[in-house]
Chains A and B, each alone.
Chain A
Amino acid sequence: MEKVISSTLILSAALLISFSFPLNVDAQGGGQKMEKSSISNEPTYTILDPRSREPEVKYQGLNPRLDTLDGKKVMVVNLHGGNEEVMEALATDLQAAVPACNVEYYAVKGKWSNLEPEDWEKMLSGDAVILGHNY
């Protein structure tokens, strides 16, 4: 019994000492906005947004689609950098699927996202264009 009383006294004393000092010294002493959460009695912080902003962007809708690929020239363009041979295979498959369409496969001359003027000229020479490199 004495042991229990002794332990209880020590615990009570520890709690009393604890409550006589701020539990969150940083929040108390840091000049922060000190509101108490109504539920937990914890201090609250009003924090600033750390994120930047992006510029406004004017965007446009897509170009109209073709009614049919028959009689049209479709450029299948390999942009490099990945599994390039599938683009050439796609051109073959597309030609077989739409025989009345003129499919031209073209691998750009520019490397690593840089396009040469002749690449642009070639890409714009069709009625439609498929860009890719399976990556």
Chain B
Amino acid sequence: MPVVLESFEDEGINITAKQEFMREGVPMVRQVLTPQDTSLKKFPDDYTQKFVDALTTPLTDGEKKSGTHVPPTNEGILTTGTYDEISELLEGKLIGHSSIGPIAEMTDGLPVVPPTESRVAKMLKGTSHDPEEIMEFGNGFMGHGLHYATVKKVATNAVMAGCKPEYMPVVLAIAESGACVGYPGDSSFGHLYIVSGPMAKEIGMNSGFCYLAPGNPANMALQRAGTLMGINLAGTIFGINVLERTGPLHWGTIFAENEDTPWEDLNEHFGYDPDENILLSFSGKVQLLPFQNIEVKSGTSLHEVMMGTPDHAVAALKTLTNVNGALLTLTPDTARYWKEEYGFKTMADIQEYMYIHVTWKQEDWAKNYWIQILGRGKQETPFTSARNQADYQIDKRSSPTRLSKLPADADVPKFASPKAITVIVAGGTGNAWSWGGAFGRPMAYSIDKWR
């Protein structure tokens, strides 16, 4: 049966589509490209004939052809040259979407450390895994088709990013998570990683003052490794298969949990031993905002405003339009203050408090597109993964059966479970907190398996 695909006349979308057609084994799919105008009530008259032609014009020899597409293996040496010459080659000459500037092909747009054989060999000393062990990219929630990469390829990108060999287990865990691949469309999908466990301190990650700011070699190099692996190993091409209209604030941002916490560490919270090292990976719409950016509740004194109370956090989280998940980070001092003043003995206590108090009206739940049309909020285990210890079931109090029986003006939990709210202790001495939203629950990956 002849098939014709209608699609926007958009350079990036069409290149993405052609990549996808090839992966699906039908590279020559006929398309009719229509005006990029969602206000249209109908296509211009001459477009009808284009659809007729696409269904009736005999196939060309190229369209009839069957065969095997053999992509380049990209093995071994890429080139030899001066620093400027290799920088120019890695940057490439890619023009992505016509409305943006050039896009670097094998870098994040900045010069990189040359990945020489000796540097890569040195990087591989950071793991006991076979350099030729194959990792698969693209099987996760977001990906740009399946790609195969070896541990050595991961090390190559780690070198480019400026990593040290001792970072390698974390880099490999980021790789296992699928690295930073963005999203084919939409607005602000990104990635956020948190390291929990003693290794964070061993490799010098920042979990204190300015943990989200530049300056720390481990945080910055690991962030960059996630970005470079997204490009080189997972096939991310900004402006072509990543067409985010704005882009996110967090693109591979990584920091460590502060061990100075009055509660259990995140690794214990998710069922790991205290000395186990894990990577929490958030992908999708991730935001983490300083509390100063929103007047959630006026205080009567600067002290009160600066401290940030649970009520402040509730008010802030209520403003989230994304109901899939929330992030709440507290400095060690604020965590202690919350424990002492409000009686939160564990992270689970805060999760429960936020779950109960961050509410919206039943009618908001009943008409929410993502929950009602796509059914995400109705799923028993949203984005479930049997391997993921950070996964959760929908709470009975949020079950569609219960919520659908409540009146329209009833206050109902905004999130599907207390576990949709991730509590993180990080930051320097003093009182501060920040908050944000996440597309869904994090995925937990073992770092130790990559030692």
Q: Do A and B come from one complex?
A: yes
Chain A residues in the interface with B (C-beta under 8 A): 30-33, 35, 37, 40, 42-69, 74, 82-83, 85-87, 89-90, 92-94, 96-98, 111-112, 124, 126-135
CB neighbours of A55 from chain B (8 A):
71, 146, 148
Asked if residues A48 and B115 are in contact (CB atoms below 8 Å), the reply is: yes
- Contact A65 to B233, CB < 8 A, known contacts A47-B86, A97-B49: no
Instruction: Choose one: B42, B59, B374; the contact of A89 (CB below 8 Å).
Output: B42
CB neighbours of A62 from chain B (8 A):
2-3, 26, 28-30, 59, 63-64
Asked if residues A86 and B42 are in contact (CB atoms below 8 Å), the reply is: yes
Measured between C-beta atoms, what is the minimum distance from A133 to chain B in Å? 8
Measured between C-beta atoms, what is the minimum distance from A113 to chain B in Å? 10
Q: Which of B73-130 contact A (CB under 8 A)?
A: 73-86, 90, 106, 114-120
Asked if residues B3 and A51 are in contact (CB atoms below 8 Å), the reply is: no
Is B235's beta carbon under 8 Å from chain A? yes
Question: Which of A45, A58, A60, A63: most chain B CB closer than 10 A?
Answer: A45
Asked if residues B38 and A52 are in contact (CB atoms below 8 Å), the reply is: no
CB neighbours of A90 from chain B (8 A):
6, 42-43, 47-48, 51
Give the complex CA separation of A93 and B47 in angstroms.
9
Asked if residues A49 and B42 are in contact (CB atoms below 8 Å), the reply is: no
CB neighbours of B55 from chain A (8 A):
65-66, 69, 74, 128, 130
CB neighbours of B52 from chain A (8 A):
69, 94, 97-98
Asked if residues B375 and A111 are in contact (CB atoms below 8 Å), the reply is: yes
- Contact A94 to B48, CB < 8 A, known contacts A32-B116, A44-B82, A50-B157: yes
Chain B residues in the interface with A (C-beta under 8 A): 1-8, 22-23, 25-30, 32, 34, 37-43, 45, 47-49, 51-52, 55-59, 63-86, 90, 106, 114-120, 137, 145-149, 152-153, 156-157, 160, 228, 232-235, 373-375
User: What is the number of contacts between chain A and chain B, taking CB atoms within 8 Å?
Assistant: 242
CB neighbours of B373 from chain A (8 A):
111
- Contact A63 to B4, CB < 8 A, known contacts A89-B42, A134-B34: no
Give the complex CA separation of A129 and B116 in angstroms.
52
Asked if residues A65 and B59 are in contact (CB atoms below 8 Å), the reply is: yes
Asked if residues A56 and B71 are in contact (CB atoms below 8 Å), the reply is: yes
CB neighbours of B375 from chain A (8 A):
111
CB neighbours of B69 from chain A (8 A):
56-59
Asked if residues A93 and B45 are in contact (CB atoms below 8 Å), the reply is: yes
Instruction: Choose one: A57, A64, A86, A131; the contact of B40 (CB below 8 Å).
Output: A86
Asked if residues A40 and B82 are in contact (CB atoms below 8 Å), the reply is: yes
Asked if residues A50 and B23 are in contact (CB atoms below 8 Å), the reply is: no
CB neighbours of A69 from chain B (8 A):
52, 55-56
CB neighbours of A133 from chain B (8 A):
6
Q: Which residue of chain A has the shortest Cβ distance to B373 in the bound complex?
A: A111
Give the complex CA separation of A57 and B21 in angstroms.
11
Give the complex CA separation of A98 and B55 in angstroms.
12
Give the complex CA separation of A89 and B55 in angstroms.
18
Asked if residues A54 and B146 are in contact (CB atoms below 8 Å), the reply is: yes
Would you list the 8 A-B pairs with minimal beta carbon distance, nearest first?
A132-B6, A89-B42, A52-B149, A49-B78, A52-B147, A51-B74, A45-B114, A61-B64
Asked if residues A93 and B48 are in contact (CB atoms below 8 Å), the reply is: yes
- Contact A53 to B374, CB < 8 A, known contacts A33-B116, A66-B56: no
Measured between C-beta atoms, what is the minimum distance from A67 to chain B in Å? 7
Asked if residues B8 and A135 are in contact (CB atoms below 8 Å), the reply is: yes
CB neighbours of A135 from chain B (8 A):
7-8, 38
Give the complex CA separation of A20 and B170 in angstroms.
41
Asked if residues A134 and B8 are in contact (CB atoms below 8 Å), the reply is: yes
CB neighbours of A131 from chain B (8 A):
3-6
Asked if residues A47 and B106 are in contact (CB atoms below 8 Å), the reply is: no
